Amino acid sequence: MLEPKTEIRMVGHILEKGVIFKLERALRDMDVEVMHVEVSFAALKAGIEEKMPSFMRFYLVGPEEERKKALEIVKRVAENTGCRIDHIAERT
């Protein structure tokens, strides 16, 4: 069975700003799972030194209402870390 999910792509200094850890803490008590997380950057030194942004792609999986609430939290984490969300899509 395919689960409905929300695909999100975020751009910014993902590793340097600890975005992954902030998301985990912010979503810990919600009935939603962050799955298939991919972080990529063009070059290791440039990414670590904040000369080039990195990209993170992941899915929120869970009930629709919980995903909507989680998406608002993801947006806040992005804003608070100077990142931006450049893609949001519903998938099945």
Q: CB–CB of 74/9 below 8 Å? A: no
Contacts of 12 by beta carbon, 8 Å cutoff, 6+ apart = 19, 53, 54, 78, 81, 82, 83, 84
Rounded Cα distance, 29 and 70, in Å: 10
DSSP label at 20?
A: H
65 vs 1 pLDDT, higher one = 65
Q: Model confidence over 8-18: pLDDT tens digits?
A: 999 999 988 99
Instruction: Name the pTM for this structure.
Output: 0.87
CATH of the domain at 59: 3.30.70.2690
Domain limits for position 27: 5-91
Structural domains of the chain, count: 1
For residue 50, how far is the Cα from the chain centroid?
A: 18
Q: Model confidence over 26-71: pLDDT tens digits?
A: 999 999 999 999 999 877 776 566 678 889 999 999 999 999 999 9
